[in-house]
Amino acid sequence: MIKCFEIFVPLVQGNIELIEQLSYNFVKRQAEQNIIYTEVRYSPHLLANGGSFNDNDGNDKSVLVNADPIIDAVTRGLRLGEEEYGVKVNQILCCLSFRPDWSDDVVRIAHERRDDTPCAVVGIDIAAGEDHFDKNAFPDNHNSHYQAFQKAKKLNLNVTMHAGEVGSISNILHAVEHYNASRIGHGYRVIEDKAIMDRMKELNIHFEVCPTSSVETGAWMYKQCKAGKTVWTDHPTIYMLDHGMNVGLNSDDPAVFDTSLTWQFRIAVLKMGLKNEQLIHMTKNCLEAAFLCNEEKIVHRKAIEKFEISV
């Protein structure tokens, strides 16, 4: 997946005008899918001048990466789109597993911009791999990320974290117990241990599942029947739902995976066999797990309830 980003990121890196336009276009695409609230996540440092996929080269580490102009551009684009299309948008800033040298700055920016509304920074994440959980094999990565997220905890920042996607199920526990995550990105490995599923249910941890990317990243592989059709009825999402866990549908990166949230709902209905009431329940889960104040959630709850009555 990193190879995909290595192709297109250099095309936009440091291009403030283009990044602002892409941010505006993002809101437009959300509106076209009837999305009323969205949280967009990205790595501002990777999009900035000097951003790099490689932290092993001393030359890369010596480059000072100023992410603030990128966030300014993204925020301008999102605000313009929000005003024009009526979609409520907030931002989540990503730390990257392989760039621990940026994590402390991500925490700083998130803290400084948490009240910069509209389109505020409402949370942080660690994406692009799970090596940072392994303090024995990757001590530098682990220590830098861990220390940054201890600061985030003291600052009471919202945390969602990629864990248990292609990495160990233990990463899910680490994300919740040591990094203060209230949401888990993907987390498909959780179905390997009922006791951990029970623990996540007890803590009401929200799992952000993304059907298309679960296949594309190798996190899960569907079966094929003799007719050549794909079989999705044993997807981890179904086991999580059957276990009463807090689960919601997400698109992951629509451009990279050539998909949309609408398409994820299509897979859920036509491939997984989920019913309308399950999809509405998952949508409610997403709202309750969103990094929004309760006053804003009340508004969106009413919109969901209005839709529920109509179906």
In terms of Cα–Cα distance, which of 222, 286, 256, 257 is closest to 39? 286
Residue 184 contacts residue 164 (beta carbons within 8 Å): yes
In sequence order, the β-bridge partners of residue 163 are 186
User: Can you give the CATH number for the domain in which 127 is found?
Assistant: 3.20.20.140
Q: Does 112 share its domain with 97? A: yes
Where is average pLDDT lowest: 120-129, 220-229, 276-285? 220-229
| Domain identity same for 151 and 190 | no
The fraction of the chain above a pLDDT of 90, given in percent, is 87
- Scan for tokens 């980003």, then name that residue: 5
- 188 & 91 share domain: no
Least confident of 8-12, 174-178, 196-200, 232-236: 8-12
User: Do residue 79 and residue 174 come from a single domain?
Assistant: no
For 235-262, write each residue's pLDDT tens digit: 999 999 999 999 999 999 998 899 999 9
Residues 116 and 216 in one domain: no
Match 């941010």 to its residue by tokens.
23
Specify whether 20 is located in the same domain as 137. Answer: yes
**CA–CA gap between residue 264 and residue 186 (Å, rounded):** 14
- Residue 46, pLDDT > 80, answer yes
Cα 137 to Cα 140: distance, rounded to the nearest angstrom: 9
Residue 238 CB neighbour total at 10 angstroms: 18
Nearest C-alpha neighbor of 172 from the set 193, 157, 154 = 193
Domain count within the chain: 2
Residue-level pLDDT at 17 = 98
Last residue of a domain, one of 130, 158, 186: 158
Write out the catalytic residue numbers: 165
223 falls in which pLDDT band (50, 70, 90)? confident
Domain boundary among 139, 158, 177: 158
Task: Please tell me the predicted confidence (pLDDT) of residue 61.
Answer: 57
Quick one: pLDDT band at residue 59, thresholds 50, 70, 90? very low
**pLDDT higher than threshold 50 for residue 97:** yes
**pLDDT, position 55:** 57
Give the C-alpha separation, 211 to 260, whole Å: 11
Helices 294-310, 276-289: crossing angle, 10 deg rounding:
170
Q: At what angle do helices 2-12 and 16-32 cross, to 10 degrees?
A: 120
Reply yes or no on whether the pLDDT at 95 is more than 90: yes
Instruction: Please name the residue that has the structure tokens 């999305």.
Output: 35
Tens digits of residue pLDDT in 299-309:
999 999 999 99
**pTM greater than 0.75:** yes
Long-range contact list for 137-144, CB < 8 A, 24+ apart?
Answer: 140/100, 141/97, 141/98, 141/100, 143/100, 144/100, 144/101, 144/103, 144/104
Residue 57 scores a pLDDT above 50: no
148: containing domain: 1-158
Shared-domain flag, residues 140 and 229: no
Lowest mean pLDDT among 59-63, 156-160, 216-220, 224-228: 59-63
265-277 average pLDDT score: 97
Query: Residue 202 pLDDT more than 50?
Result: yes
Same-domain pairing of 73 and 97:
yes
Q: Which of 183, 159, 9, 58 is nearest to 145 (CA)?
A: 159
pLDDT single digits (tens) 143-197:
999 999 999 999 999 999 999 999 999 999 999 999 999 999 999 999 999 999 9
Q: Which of 105, 123, 158 is the last residue of a domain?
A: 158
Amino acid at 140: D
Q: Cβ-count burial of 267 within 10 angstroms (0-12 exposed, 13-18 middle, 19+ buried)?
A: buried
Is 83 found in the same domain as 194?
no
- Beginning with the edge strand found earlier in the chain, give each strand of the sheet holding 121-127 in spatial order: 37-42, 88-96, 121-127
Domain co-membership, 284 together with 249: yes
Are residues 176 and 205 in contact, defined by beta-carbon separation less than 8 angstroms? Answer: yes
Amino acid symbol at 255: A
Which of 290, 98, 54 shows the shortest CA–CA distance to 300?
A: 290
Task: Kindly report, residue by residue over 286-296, the tens digit of the pLDDT.
Answer: 999 999 999 99
* 175 and 295 in a common domain: yes
d(CA 151, CA 55): 22
The answer to whether residues 182 and 216 belong to one domain is yes
